[in-house]
Amino acid sequence: MKAAIIGGGVIGGGWAARFLLNGWNVAVFDPDPEAERKIGEVLSNARRALPALYDRAMPPEGTLRFSDSLADAVAGADWVQESVPERLDIKHRVLADLNAHAPADAIIASSTSGFKPSELTAEGARVIVAHPFNPVYLLPLVELVGDAATCGAAQAMLREVGFYPLHIRKEIDAHIADRFLEAVWREALWLVKDGIATTEEIDEAIRMGFGLRWAQMGLFETYRVAGGEAGMKHFMAQFGPCLSFPWTKLMDVPEFTDTLVDLIAGQSDAQSGHMTIRELERLRDDNLVGIMRALKHTGSGAGGVVTAHEAKLARPGMPVTLERQIPPGWTDYNGHMNETHYLEAGSKATDRFMEMVGADAAYIAAGQSYFTVENHVRYLAEAHAADHLRADTRLLNGDGKKLHLFHTLMRGDGEVVATVESFLLHVDLGTRRSCPPSDAVARALAEVAEAQTRLPVPEGAGRVGL
């Protein structure tokens, strides 16, 4: 698959990274002489952050090239993403060129945050809105607006690269999400102008309070919970009258005088000026990865999208039981992978091995599984954030109720960083007592044992009790 990115700013660079790291080939056209450097820096952050969301390896990275012309960039493209400045005259000119040169079956989409499809197509262009959120390579939401059939095809393609495409049924200025952001932004400007709060205090109010709730429940579900056992009707009856109070100035915008701009810029410098933009981006990405990985455990919000996409990254039957990038959250104050996460990596390798022999989620739901009885970990070399980590698994014993595994954890350069030896017993989940596995699982284990029969016993094996 090929994506063509027209406009290589922050948003265009994010689109390029999202497609590229999901195995697509990407061509970028941007006359800015700094475009290659800027996209290179975005890609550097994306390579560090996006794979850290997943517990499976992402596909091999696609190829990236910078085109000298728009026509060359879109040749053979399956997806064309326009991310030029938010001026309608510029967009009309670029979209006309895209329609003239892009393949007839390519999806042409605009990243516009405010223009409606009817405005973009006013001069005959074939285009839908695909409005993402920064950082595009991490946040899953893309708002789709426009022709229903095209949006339907776009949804399927975007899910393949880990997005959550939301089809908006009726066009409206600024779509859905930016209308909320605009309302909050207006109120924040007044709070600063009137001396009620500084930029830092407003940010603290969001990130220490409702921002955390919104990340996993959104607006309406949050308020449903606030209604208690009586539910949403009770909440609306109790707090609905507040809407008539003169609390907000949603349609009244303070004038952007030099005084107000200097006030906000000065407060922002005092709040965050000690960090570069790239440092702030990495901090943002690390925080988003941590929050989204936490949401994976319950399948809530963006975590559910990551889990669904991760399932598509599985390559059944692989002899490798773990292949992934080490996330920043796995490192500690010494700057290397913390000891607890070597055991976590071994546990995930065990889970994958169980899947391979048929002791998968369906098997567990049917009432049988393996319980770990003992582990032994050897720490042999350092591993660091963003290192590629893989595990090869040796079956030492799979007879009867016993499952004895030896995982060898290696960096991408092939150096062994740790071994995890695990001893498990097969269990009936109804009685919570050990029992033999199903015939199908027993046969699968026997096949693995036969395939590995000529392999020597791994160095360091034999540390767990049998």
Residue 164 lies in a domain: yes
> Do 190 and 156 fall within a single domain?
no
> Do 126 and 239 fall within a single domain?
no
Residues contacting residue 178 through CB under 8 Å, at least 6 positions apart: 113, 114, 131
For residues 438-449, one letter each, b for 16 or more C-beta atoms within 10 angstroms of the residue's C-beta and e for the rest, the string is eeebbebbeebe
> Do 233 and 161 fall within a single domain?
no
460 contacts 419 by C-beta, under 8 angstroms: yes
Residues contacting residue 189 through CB under 8 Å, at least 6 positions apart: 253, 254, 260, 264
Give the Cα separation of 298 and 165 in Å (integer). 21
Six-digit token string for 169: 């049924």
> Do 9 and 153 fall within a single domain?
yes
Q: Which residues of the chain have pLDDT under 50?
A: 316-318
> Do 164 and 183 fall within a single domain?
no
Residue 25 lies in a domain: yes
> Do 6 and 153 fall within a single domain?
yes
Six-digit token string for 464: 């767990």
Give 39-45 contacts, CB < 8 A, sequence gap 24+.
Answer: 39/8, 39/12, 39/13, 39/64, 41/13, 41/278, 42/10, 42/13, 42/14, 42/16, 42/17, 42/137, 43/13, 43/16, 43/17, 45/135, 45/137, 45/278, 45/281, 45/282, 45/285
> Do 167 and 43 fall within a single domain?
yes
In this structure, what CATH number is given to the domain that contains residue 93? 3.40.50.720
Residue-wise pLDDT for 326-377, tens only, equals 999 899 999 999 999 999 999 999 999 999 899 998 999 999 999 999 999 9
Q: What are phi and psi of 249, to 5 degrees?
A: -125, 55
In this structure, what CATH number is given to the domain that contains residue 226? 1.10.1040.10
Residue-wise pLDDT for 34-54, tens only, equals 999 999 999 999 999 999 898
CA distances for 395 relative to 129, 238, 346, 357, 444, angstroms: 51, 62, 13, 11, 11
> Do 51 and 161 fall within a single domain?
yes
| DSSP code per residue over 16-46 | HHHHHHTT-EEEEE---TTHHHHHHHHHHHH
Q: Please give the tally of structural domains in the chain.
A: 3
Residue 66 lies in a domain: yes
> Do 333 and 348 fall within a single domain?
yes
Single out the residue in 154, 173, 192 at which a domain terminates.
173
Segment (H or E) for 182? helix 177-193
Q: Sheet containing 164-167: which strands, arranged edge to edge?
A: 64-66, 25-29, 2-6, 79-82, 107-110, 128-131, 141-145, 164-167
Residue-wise pLDDT for 151-161, tens only, equals 999 999 999 99
pLDDT recorded at residue 465: 60
Single out the residue in 173, 193, 209 at which a domain terminates.
173
Residue 75 lies in a domain: yes
Single out the residue in 210, 242, 274 at which a domain terminates.
274
Beta bridge partners of 425: 371, 402
In this structure, what CATH number is given to the domain that contains residue 389? 3.10.129.10
Residue 462 lies in a domain: no
Give the Cα separation of 372 and 41 in Å (integer). 43
Residue 168 lies in a domain: yes
pLDDT recorded at residue 33: 93
Six-digit token string for 85: 């400045």
> Do 118 and 49 fall within a single domain?
yes
Residue 309 lies in a domain: no
In 146-247, the DSSP E strands lie at 164-167
> Do 323 and 438 fall within a single domain?
yes
**Domain region containing 264:** 178-274
Closest CA to 52 of 462, 454, 353, 337: 337
Closest CA to 412 of 322, 330, 335: 322
> Do 244 and 330 fall within a single domain?
no
